[in-house]
Structure formats: C-alpha cells, structure tokens
Structure 1
Amino acid sequence: MSVIDFIFSRQVPLGMLCAAFLFMPWNKKKSNFYPRLLIGVFAFFAISEVCTRVNIENKVRLLIYTILLFVLFWLCYEGSYIHYIFYTTCAYAVQHISSKLTYMIAVPISIKFDVSGYPFYTSILLITSALVALIVYIKYTQPFARQGELQFDNVKIVMYSGLFLVAAVYLSVFLEDGFDQASASYLTSYVCLNAFCILFALAILALEYTNFNTKQLEQENQILAQLLESDKHQYEQAKKDMEKINIRYHDIKQQYSKATDEERSKLEEEMAELNLRYFTGNKAVDITLTQKSAICNAAGIQLVCSADGSCLERMKHYHIYSMLGNALDNAIECLEQVSDPEKKVITLDIHKDKNMAVIRVENYTPNRPLFKDGNLLTTKADEHDHGYGVKSIQNTAEIYGGIAHIFVENEIFYLLITIPCSENLTLNEA
C-alpha cells in the first residue's frame, strides 16, 4: 500500500490525532509524559488499524476513535474529565471540518471534470487540513496557549457540545448513506449537507472557547478589582506616612531656630530630604508624587512635573493614587533598564483642557513595546500574572467616563489619560 493510499484510507483517525495536537495543554503534562504519549499514540493507531481491518461499521468506528482520543488526553495530561471532553470535542470538530470541507470541494470537481483517485482526494485533504489547522491555531489555540488552567462558565455547555457534535456527525452519516447518487439533486444535497456539518462544527468550536473566554474576562475583572482594593489600602498607609513627614518637618523647623550651627547643618540635610513634597491642589496627587519622587531619586531618575491637581477633584483619592502610581511605576521600571542618565527622565503633566482633565506621562523606552488589538503586552515571562498595570489605569479612567491611550513615537513612550471634569457625569463603577 502506498503512502497516499494509507493516508486516505485512514484519514479519520489520522485527522483526529493531528487535530488533537492543536489542543494539547503542553503546560499540563503528566509525569513520564513522553512514554505516555508514545503508548497513547501507538494504542490509538493499533486499535484504529484493527477497526479498519475487521471492517467495523463506520458509525461504530467514529465512536471508538472519539473514546481513544479522550483516553489519550487523560493518559498524558493533568486535568478534569471536563477538560478532556473539551479537548476531545475541539479536536473532533477540527477533523470534521477538514474532512467535510475536503469532500465539499473534491466531489463536485470529481463529478464535473471526471477526476478521481486517491492522489486527487488526498492532495485536497492535506491542503484543506493544513489551512483549517492554521486558522484554528491563529484564532483559538495560540491566543489561549498560556492561559493556564481553563475554568469554564458552564460545565454543561462542554458536555452538551460534545454530545451534540457526536450526534450531528452520526446523523450526517445516516443522511449521507440515504442519498441517491443517481438523483439529479444529489450534488446539491451533498454540498448542502457538508456545508451544514462544517457550520455546526464551527459553532461548537466557537461555543467551547467562548465558554471559558468569558470566565477569563470575569477573572481579569476580579484581579483588577483586587489590585484597586490593594491600592486603596496602600494610599491610606501613604497618607499616614505623609502626615508623619509633615509633623517631622514642622518639628525640625521649630528646632532650627534654637539649634547650634552644627545642629543646623544636620537639620538642613534632613529638611532637604523631607522637602521632596508636592503641593498641586489635590492631596492624593501630592501624596502620590511625593512617594514616587523619592523612588525616582533613589533610582537616579529625574521626575519633571507640572501638575494642577485641582482638575482631578472629582476622582476618589485612592483612584488617583492607583492610576498615577501605576503610570509612574511603569515608567520607573522601564527607565531602571537605561544606563544613560540623560534619558532617565519622566515627564508628567496634569492640566485642565476645557472640561477635560488631561494626564500625560512620557519616558524614554529602550525597547519598543508590543501591542495587540491596541493593548500593551507585558514583557515579563509570566504573562498570566503580569500586565495589569496599564489595564488598571484604563479601568480606572473608564470608571469616570474617560479613556487611557498609549503609543510610542521616536523611542518615547506616551500615556495619555483624559477624564471629564463635570461632576454631573455618572460614575461607571459597579
């Protein structure tokens, strides 16, 4: 038997196994993974080969292949049975789409141009399978490859999707077997049936991924809420620290008039350190800038600031602390990688433009950041636990009906936040 003959006659188990590699959770491998994978693949092929040689009915073979695929995921990867059903359903859907698309293209060509034979069908099968796999990888697999543990909104949706897909495949087989190939409407019916099968499998695939994608969005919102709550507590502590600094500064001024020349010299040094304070007309802005300027000084970063904090009086103080703090922390973290002191500068401008409060942060960036769909991607290795600083800024701005925009020009990173100043606007906070 030639390779082409082998591929075509075993296209279903081969297609299901190849599709399975698109959805294998590589970060959830069990111990002794490669021996397990080898045993699982060998068992899959061995049993499927027995089914072919014994000439088991096609409908029964499809069920056996589905069970074998489920067992392969269970054997090789950590997870619950729901996860294994999810992976199996997605792989089965991809194989079904590729197979039906192949025949929907090949059969009309074969009838119209009198072309047949395994090489013809196999070539179309390989091309369509590769295209479907590429599209699924770009659309589904790659974006969610590093999402970690999948948590589904509704477990029943996963189970029902798998059952509906298997049922649809079986019904299509029964219906196709009942077609009269001599009928004038055979080709139209055949193409329509395959098109319906493809659309149904695509719907199942989209439903499966939407099911946990919504859950991930909920988790992201929960993380942002937790970060904001943490910033709220940090602001309260920073406010207490600022009060202590003000008290200490006042005490030093009282001591200064009675001190000796030597004592005054020491007091002046301490006063200079404590005098790194800001008075912008907004207490939260003052506290945030005072705290971050001390960090900048320690890191050899110059903070150039022009701030009218009064235009942010509509915002809650801990929201201001969170938003400005995240913006400056991101800039500081970026400039800590820069060795040229002339480039270690953060420019912050806060002003009112008509009825909008405008916050602009600028800093040099040694490496151009990556963007996807207008969102900044984290450069940290652990993407799952990082990258929420900018999201938190955007989320806070949206609470007040504003927007946060980021862009890079000529190696300068810009963060531009605009927030309506009108007190009549309703907050978007839940």
Structure 2
Amino acid sequence: MNDAIADIPRWVTALAEWSACLVYISVMRKRVSGVPLVATLIGGLVLMWGIQEFAGTLPIGLWTVGMLLAVAAMFTLIWLTSDVSMREAGDLTARAFVLAELGASLAWQLHYFFLGDAGPTAGGIVLLIATAGTVFAVAYLIERRQFPRDLPLAIDNKALASALGIATATFLVSNLSFITTSTPFSGRIGPELLYIRTLVDLCGFVVLYAQRAQRLELLRVVELQSMNTLLHTQHEQYLASRAAADEVNRRHHDLKQYVEAMRAESDAGARGELADQLEQEIRGLSGVPLDTGNTVVDTMLTSKTSQAAQHGIAITPVVDGSVVDFMDVIDIVTIFGNALDNAIEATRNVSDKDKRLIRVAVYREGAFALLRFENWFGGAVTLVDGLPRTTKDEAHHHGYGLKNIRQAAYKYDGTMTVRVEDGWFVLRVLVPVPA
C-alpha cells in the first residue's frame, strides 16, 4: 500500500456514493414516493456510511470485500427507489460508482492541493462538500438528457456486462497506485497519485456517458425508421382499402344494371341466367361502404370493420367525417389506422365475446374536432410520458402507433390523451379546426 498521502476520508466516500446514487435516482421513474422514498434514501446513507466505517477496520487483504459491500448497498438503494429492472439497476450502479469515485477523488485532490494532509477543519469540510456537490450537480444536468422518459433504453446482458467492465477497469486502474508502486502504470508522488486517480475516473465517466449516448442515438434512429415504416404501411393499407371500396362501388353499379335487365326480360330462362350472374356478382362483396362525409374516413372504417369482424369484434361508429376535412390524408390514415389496429389487437384477447366492442366517435365540439376511440379493456394502465407502458417483452420495439397519432395531433396544435374509464380504454384526440 502506498502511504505517501492519506487516503480519502471514509465519510467523504460514503457521502459521494450516496450522492451519486441520488443523481441517477433523480432521473428515473420512482418505485416509491413521499415518506417511503425519503426514509429509504436516509436509510441508504446510514448504511453506506456504516459500510465505509466497517471497511476501514478490515486488513488490506480484505480491501475488495469492503468495496463489494459498498457496491451492493448502492445497487440496493437504486433498485428499491427506482422503477427499473435488475439489469437496469446494475447499469445505473456501475455509472453511480464511477461518478462517486470521480466526485470523491476530485474533492480530495483539491483539499490536498490547498490544505495538504491537514485533518478535518471547517474550511476543509466546506471545500470537500462544495467540490463534490458541484461534480454531482453537473453530472445530473448532463445525465438527465441521457434518460428520456419517452424512450426507455432496455439494458440487455451485453450492455450490462460492458458497463460493469468499464466501471471495474476504471476503479482498478485509478486505485492501482494506492496498492502498489511496482507497475509501469503506478504513480509515486503524492499529487501525482491523486491526479492519476481523478483523471482515470473522469475518463471512465466519459466512456460510460459516450456508450449510453451512442446506444440512445441508435435507438432513436431505429424508432424513427420504425415509425416511418408504420406510416408507410398504414398508407399502403389505405390505398388497398380505397381500391377495394372503388371496386365495391363499381360492382354495385353493375348490380343495378342486372336488376333493370331482369325486370325488362320476359323470358323465364333468360331471367334465370341473369339471376345466376347476379348471384356471382354478389359473392365477395364485404358490404356497402360507410358514408361519413369523408372518403378517407369511410375507407378506413370500412376496412377496419371488416378486419374486426374476422375476430368477432363489432365496431360501432358515430362519425361525422367532414369534421376532419382540413386534415391531410396521411394524418387521417395515421390516426384511424393506428387507433383501430391497437383497439382490435386489445379487444381480440377479451374472453367475453359480448364485450368485444369498439366505439368510434368523431364530431365537432366548439372550435375543435374530437376523435374518440374506445375499446373494452377491464384493466389498469400505467402511463409513462402520457403513453401506456407496454406489457410486451421488448418495450422499445412497440408503442410507435400511439406516438405517430400524437405527432399527427401535434401537427395541428392538438393533443392526444389516453385513460381508462369504467373498464373502457379511451383514446382521445382533440384538434382545433381552422377558422
């Protein structure tokens, strides 16, 4: 052990570890709130302080035991207070540990530079707390942009292993000089030791930050591509439905011609042939298209009603399509297509066939166009940034439909809201109608 200078006081390390945890807890959704949250945070601080004091009594051979206990305490505090998975808590712990090392190291380096190895004084304590506090405040301002509420970044085993590896390597290299001076990478002079530790901790923090920033950027690219693909698919479905509706209208026109010909035909055999031809024309017709006053809305409702019927789902529309005449075709398709696709997917899993219902209402309310889509749900919804948290295994691959709907509403300075009312899942789009 290098005894050139006194090591960081245990209480500084404990406070740094707790503060670093607090930084990442602050940017995450909370598992608890109010008094339980405050009590858990205070308990975490006491536990970390106690572990550091206990570790200080251990012989150098058990040095790693104390560090593992400290990391375990940090993991426990993050997992108990943040609404995250075990892997996500592990990733946050790795980041918090490196940040804690950086804050404590920089604070002690400045203390040594200005006050040397002097024991704790009022001025020294203020300097330590001010330096570490500044580090954690800056880290919070930087890191909060890396944890957007609307784009959760799932941590897989590979990502977790990478973060833990970086944190472990950072800690070992930064503290190497305090263990031995017999390596090419060890420092031998007091200030040099502190500088190396701070610099390595800073590099570790930057690497972890860059790693997450890159993964977040890739996820945003994937999300954008997925949303564009979904928009394209919805539009293609609309075009196909529009073509089918035009075909139905054409065949309806032909049916009228057959009926007129049958009325005018006096020969029974000829009438029989016309009746057979009429029967063949009727086959394959899915029904008369709706007439809401907007052909795009008609097409979407007709198509989705037919799709829902295949799963025993009834769609009951009360729709004034003319209300949304001011909207672009692609935006109407986006809203109706995604809303009804989501409703059909949710309703097809309802065991009670009498409750396989979807209600659609579009009407004008004052200066606004109100679009309301309802389907029987019978459960509870947890909202994250105004959107339901998906129950699917790969959350970051889903939910683009609602995001596209919200973007379409934002385009017209409108809003989209979702909630559960008396067992019904309600999607509501409110858009101001241009004067």
Fold equivalence (TM over 0.5): yes
1:85-234 mapped onto 2 (5 Å cutoff): 94-99=96-101, 143-146=152-155, 177-178=190-191, 205-234=208-237
Contact 1:326/1:393 (CA < 8 Å) preserved in 2?
yes
1:404/1:355 Cα in 2 relative to 1: closer, same or farther (>3 Å)? same
Q: 1:385 aligned to 2:385?
A: no
Q: Deviations over 1:369-389 (max 9, x none)?
A: 343232222223333433222
Q: Which runs of 5+ in 1 are unaligned?
A: 23-88, 114-134, 151-160, 180-189, 424-430
Q: Pick from 246, 253, 256: which aligns with 2:256?
A: 253
1:176/1:366 Cα in 2 relative to 1: closer, same or farther (>3 Å)? farther
Q: Paired residue for 1:411?
A: 423
Q: Which runs of 5+ in 2 are unaligned?
A: 1-54, 77-90, 112-117, 122-142, 160-166, 179-185, 263-270
Contact 1:276/1:293 (CA < 8 Å) preserved in 2?
no
Q: Paired residue for 2:356?
A: 344
- Distance, in Å, in 2 between the alignment partners of 1:299 and 1:90 is 44
Contact 2:289/2:298 (CA < 8 Å) preserved in 1?
yes
- Distance, in Å, in 2 between the alignment partners of 1:200 and 1:306 is 61
Contact 2:364/2:370 (CA < 8 Å) preserved in 1?
yes
Q: Paired residue for 2:84?
A: none
Q: 1:286 aligned to 2:340?
A: no
- Distance, in Å, in 1 between the alignment partners of 2:63 and 2:168 is 25
1:77-88 mapped onto 2 (5 Å cutoff): none
Contact 1:256/1:267 (CA < 8 Å) preserved in 2?
no
Displacement, 1:313?
A: 1.4
Contact 1:301/1:332 (CA < 8 Å) preserved in 2?
yes
Contact 2:98/2:171 (CA < 8 Å) preserved in 1?
no
1:307/1:91 Cα in 2 relative to 1: closer, same or farther (>3 Å)? closer
Q: Paired residue for 1:300?
A: 312
Identity of aligned residues (%): 24
- Distance, in Å, in 1 between the alignment partners of 2:348 and 2:245 is 25
Q: Pick from 323, 335, 340: which aligns with 1:323?
A: 335
Contact 2:245/2:289 (CA < 8 Å) preserved in 1?
no
Displacement, 1:289?
A: 0.6
Give the partner amino acid of 1:255.
Answer: Y
TM-score, length-scaled by structure 2 = 0.56
1:209/1:271 Cα in 2 relative to 1: closer, same or farther (>3 Å)? same
Contact 1:331/1:363 (CA < 8 Å) preserved in 2?
yes
1:15/1:197 Cα in 2 relative to 1: closer, same or farther (>3 Å)? farther
Displacement, 1:271?
A: 8.7
Give the partner amino acid of 2:324.
Answer: L
Q: Paired residue for 2:51?
A: none
User: 388-397 vs 320-329, which deviates more?
Assistant: 388-397
Give the partner amino acid of 2:404.
Answer: S
1:243/1:178 Cα in 2 relative to 1: closer, same or farther (>3 Å)? same
Give the partner amino acid of 2:249.
Answer: N
Contact 2:248/2:288 (CA < 8 Å) preserved in 1?
no
Displacement, 1:269?
A: 11
Contact 2:98/2:170 (CA < 8 Å) preserved in 1?
no
- Distance, in Å, in 2 between the alignment partners of 1:320 and 1:149 is 41
Q: Paired residue for 2:287?
A: 275
Q: Deviations over 1:12-35 (max 9, x none)?
A: 98699989x99xxxxxxxxxxxxx
Q: Deviations over 1:264-289 (max 9, x none)?
A: 99759949954342111111000001
Contact 1:302/1:344 (CA < 8 Å) preserved in 2?
yes
- Distance, in Å, in 2 between the alignment partners of 1:264 and 1:383 is 54
1:36-51 mapped onto 2 (5 Å cutoff): none
Give the partner amino acid of 1:415.
Answer: L
TM-score, length-scaled by structure 1 = 0.56
